[in-house]
Amino acid sequence: MTNTAKYIFVTGGVTSSLGKGIIAASLAKLLQAQGYRVTIQKLDPYINVDPGTLNPYEHGECYVTEDGAETDLDLGHYERFLNRATSQANNVTTGRIYQSVIDKERRGEFLGKTVQVVPHITDEIKERIQILGKSGDYDIVITEIGGTVGDIESLPYIEAVRQLRWDLGENNGIVIHLTLVPFLSAAGELKTKPTQHSVKTLMESGVQADILVCRTEHNLPKDLRRKLALFCNVKENAVIQSIDASTIYDVPNLMLDEGLDKVVLEKLNLKSDTPDIERWNQFVHRHKNPKSEVTIGLIGKYVELQDSYKSILEAFIHAGAENEVKVKVESVHSEYINKDNVHLKLGHLDGVLVAPGFGERGIDGKIDAVQYVRENNVPFLGICLGMQMAVIEFARNVLGIKDAASSEMNSDTKNAVIDLMEDQKTITDKGGTMRLGAWDCDLKLGSAIRDIYKSESISERHRHRYEFNGDYKAQMEAAGMQATGLNPDTGLVEIVEIPTHPWFIGVQYHPEYKSTVANPHPLFVAFVKAALLHSRGKRSATMAKK
Ligand code: GLN
């Protein structure tokens, strides 16, 4: 396939965490809204083959694509902004690059040559960058390069970009460099020097930035932009300010005001138009002007870090806007919940979500939380480990199976109501071996879930090793916990619900990965609605007392 796509490379300088992913996603949104077919790719310079084995403390949430790739959380932003699925090709790591080159070497594909970073590793990077462009599915590919220029790990990527710009020819590949313009309060001044240095570092590798996007806390005055343009070899209209925003969903409009899309299209020799972001703006308006408020508890063990449950938090924003409700998410550390304090910790909440997770830490608190919401009619959504905890809680406290457990945490239990399937028992490698990616699920007639999705069958993304043990299904159903979603091929239980409870649903899959601005996830929308009803009920009960 010929390479007809145009390429935009996004690099970062000065410091990490400047929000390259959001800038890339916002630009992509503006280009998409002018009729271009756009995709975004993230290149991560670390040596892990994928972030699936990384602790969320280390790298935030692991995002899962339709095709089962465990990827960087920036891919979540790409999907949420563009409403288009990404795939394995959208996330490449140094580990993956090296693995592929070493495999080729073992197969003898380099014909006796010495295998080196240049050209073999850089060739592999260039090939990976062009996979999406050569597919014919996209007009523009945005490639975000993780890390900060000057890092040792980033060098082969920057070299690949340098070469590719030549290979692609003029107007076919451009570089956007994202930097920081700090404000020194003691001097009362914005400082350009770090940006100048980082552009210079990029130039030492032979790459000239075409556009600068400058993160800043204050507006960049005209003379400062002129100075940056002069010292960094870019045109004045190519110095774009990216001022701190109250929500990431404001960034596309901020970039539009700065004319980022226009400069990009001009440099790529493509036609520019007024982007149609009407629907996007309606969402932002609803998000910023809620009519009421609910508080939902997020019970997990990575509560200190916003990034660990990124997709869940974003799904609440989409669902909140859809309901015109502000969803206040209150993180509750499951390790500190017990039977004595559970009322104190959860009593004021309008809904409770028990989060996904791995390992033993904090699971008793999760089980106590489920028991509390089940007995007190508080809306409950359990996701993955959260659903498994709901099954264990029901088995223990309703069926009276005291040693009911998951074999993940207790491999000796006689009652593994959550257990490994046969095909998982022989697996020893941890990376990429879970049940991953999109799986079909049939929804039971008359169930709440079928009403929520308004569909007989769905497809959702998974990331887990353990499953509902079918041996207990009949007992559980007889006691009131229904299996209302089943995988059509394996019969595995994907959804449980308690019909006698106002809103109690556990799902083995991760609905949060598929919630986007254009398509808020129906399960989150329904959960927020249930929380709103619950809060109104609580309010009228208190009023009646008065
Ligand atoms: N630890 C559980 C499993 O592997 C749940 C995983 C999750 O919540 N993503 O089955």
Ligand 1 pocket: which of 383, 387, 408 to mutate (most atoms <8 Å of CB)? 408
Q: How many Å apart are CA 384 and CA 276, to the nearest integer?
A: 37
Number of the ligand 1 atom closest to the C-alpha atom of 355 = 8
- Categorize the per-residue pLDDT at 302 as very low, low, confident or very high, splitting at 50, 70 and 90: confident
- Categorize the per-residue pLDDT at 304 as very low, low, confident or very high, splitting at 50, 70 and 90: low
Question: CA dihedral defined by 341, 326, 443, 417, rounded to 10 degrees?
Answer: -20
- Categorize the per-residue pLDDT at 105 as very low, low, confident or very high, splitting at 50, 70 and 90: very high
The structure tokens listed for 174 are 């451009």
Contacts of 442 (CB under 8 A, 6+ apart): 456, 457, 485, 486, 487, 488
Q: Give the closest residue (by CA) to ligand 1 atom 6.
A: 464
Query: When comparing pLDDT for 437 and 16, which is higher?
Result: 437
User: What would the mean pLDDT of 347-361 be, rounded to a whole number?
Assistant: 94
> Which of 15-29, 53-67, 283-297 comes out lowest in average pLDDT?
53-67
509 CA → ligand 1 middle, Å: 9
Residue range 14-42, pLDDT digits in tens: 888 899 999 999 999 999 999 999 999 99
Q: Please report, as a single letter, which amino acid is at residue 191.
A: K
Count CB-CB contacts under 10 A for residue 156.
21
Q: Which residues line ligand 1 (CB under 6 A)?
A: 356-358, 384-385, 408, 463-466
As annotated, the active-site residues are 384, 510, 512
Q: Give the closest residue (by CA) to ligand 1 atom 5.
A: 385
Ligand 1 pocket: which of 308, 361, 388, 433 to mutate (most atoms <8 Å of CB)? 388
Q: What letter does residue 211 receive in the DSSP assignment? A: E
Nearest to 435 by CA among 52, 10, 50: 52
Contacts of 68 (CB under 8 A, 6+ apart): 88, 436, 437, 438, 461
383 CA → ligand 1 middle, Å: 9
Look-up of token digits 């770090």: 194
Number of the ligand 1 atom closest to the C-alpha atom of 383 = 8
Q: How many Å apart are CA 266 and CA 260, to the nearest integer?
A: 10
Number of the ligand 1 atom closest to the C-alpha atom of 384 = 8
User: What would the mean pLDDT of 143-170 be, rounded to a whole number?
Assistant: 94
523 CA → ligand 1 middle, Å: 19
408 CA → ligand 1 middle, Å: 9
User: What would the mean pLDDT of 532-536 be, rounded to a whole number?
Assistant: 95
> What pLDDT, on a 0 to 100 scale, did the predictor assign at position 42?
96
> What pLDDT, on a 0 to 100 scale, did the predictor assign at position 60?
84
Question: CA dihedral defined by 373, 379, 385, 390, rounded to 10 degrees?
Answer: 50
